[in-house]
Structure 1
């Protein structure tokens, strides 16, 4: 049985909130993914097999199988003699991660538009992003931004695209958490996101795809730190955004 967090971190992959889980391995993978997404498990942090199995109240063989899945997803890394670590993203990963994001979201847009699917979920996610930007908290904005993009994929109705997006969202968060400047997010994305929501709702596929491509290019440019290419507004994260009751804190403390 996996420990349930009484007050889970704000940052949680939206796709995991209502998923019907079929196995202990799935549960472990979801718990660890959420811990990485929330920043509870940080890039470069080692995963102590014994302590983590005790924390989640699972067997070590089950934990090993879950870690292997996360390694195959590129969320974790394994080095002989060094064990398993949360992956630390590098500059070379930026363009690849956003190329995958663009491919997933572009295909989702096509399915939504061509299928005439409801875009109500996208509208709700846009309103959540508007509220998050008003609050001006980096992690809240980052969560709402990624949730908006996830909503587009969710509206496609494709379970496979949704699974790919779930992993891609963790990769995106790892890019931000691995940034040497610290965790920061754009707070001037409303216009582009409103335009994207409107284009998808109107069934304008070419315009929707063009906006997706531009949003991905701008996000990659910011992470690359190319001053000439990016002049957007950002909000930096703070240590105060880390939940005080985080169950993973024990692992971080024991690692020191």
Structure 2
């Protein structure tokens, strides 16, 4: 069953903000990742260095360095003579992205369970996911779902795993935004998320890892169009509403794919 969500609001995750410290490459890269994650920058969209540097209030060399970092992360793509563009994910990217996601989250689960880390944040993120599903808005459900998985990694306390997950979340969002069917999310997996939280709370590592693997395999199958569950409840977002404004709106018309 597919439910069409008309005129969905934009993502609640942070969108692009002016960079105050122009020498901070990390901060510039974070703002561009946020813009991609929130849908302010589309897959395939080119980046005009002059206009983007002006918008961010940073130097072009600093912006260029941040863009090269994003290219190395697989968030951006560079083509000689065509400049830098937001990466458009292809079908052959799907399995690789979810294999990395599974590796990161599986390791985080092991750390949380073996170290007895507090999991309050996972409980809170599950509640937010439940509320998002009640609202039936594709982008908010997608944000809450990824936040749930990110909370598991965050609870591990590993800065390196969290950094890897931050990039992996952008890759995951790019997969959904690059899907020719449009952005859509599955809303009937809340029980699976509850079972994962219960398994982690019980300290059942084997069951937790099995659920993580099943979630990743299912998501990859859906993006491959091989999902066979006809009872799946899918919420599909409408195209970006005309007139939606954010700090990228002044650039989008001149940075079309």
**TM-score under structure 2 normalisation?**
0.90
The 5 A counterparts of 1:1-256 are 10-12=11-13, 24-228=24-228, 232-239=232-239, 244-256=244-256
Q: CA deviation at 1:253?
A: 1.6
Contact 1:222 1:230 in 2 (8 A): no
Instruction: Flag the structure with more relative contact order, 1 or 2, with Cα contacts below 8 A and sequence separation at least 6.
Output: 2
In structure 2, relative to structure 1, the CA distance for the partners of 1:42 and 1:143 (3 Å cut) is same
Q: CA deviation at 1:23?
A: 5.2
Contact 1:40 1:242 in 2 (8 A): no
In structure 2, relative to structure 1, the CA distance for the partners of 1:204 and 1:12 (3 Å cut) is same
Deviation sequence 1:13-35 (CA, Å, 0-9, x none): 79xxxxxx995211110110000
Distance 1:244 1:62 in 2: 29
In structure 2, relative to structure 1, the CA distance for the partners of 1:155 and 1:241 (3 Å cut) is farther
Distance 1:194 1:255 in 2: 42
In structure 2, relative to structure 1, the CA distance for the partners of 1:176 and 1:31 (3 Å cut) is same
In structure 2, relative to structure 1, the CA distance for the partners of 1:35 and 1:141 (3 Å cut) is same
Q: CA deviation at 1:158?
A: 0.3
Distance 1:254 1:219 in 2: 34
Distance 1:117 1:68 in 2: 36
Where 1:236 maps in the other structure, the secondary structure is: strand
Root mean square deviation of aligned Cα: 2.1
Distance 2:136 2:168 in 1: 25
Q: CA deviation at 1:228?
A: 3.2
Q: CA deviation at 1:10?
A: 3.1
Q: CA deviation at 1:50?
A: 0.4
Aligned length in residues: 243
Deviation sequence 1:197-227 (CA, Å, 0-9, x none): 1110111100000000000000000000014
Gaps of 5+ in 2: 1-9, 16-20
Contact 1:73 1:167 in 2 (8 A): yes
Q: CA deviation at 1:251?
A: 1.3
Where 1:40 maps in the other structure, the secondary structure is: coil
Structure showing the higher helix proportion among its residues = 1
**TM-score under structure 1 normalisation?**
0.90
Distance 1:160 1:179 in 2: 29
Q: CA deviation at 1:172?
A: 0.1
Distance 1:242 1:187 in 2: 26
Contact 2:108 2:152 in 1 (8 A): yes
Runs (4+) of structure 1 exceeding 4 A deviation are 240-243
Distance 2:52 2:143 in 1: 25
Contact 2:218 2:227 in 1 (8 A): no
Deviation sequence 1:58-88 (CA, Å, 0-9, x none): 0000000000000000000000011100000
Q: CA deviation at 1:255?
A: 2.5
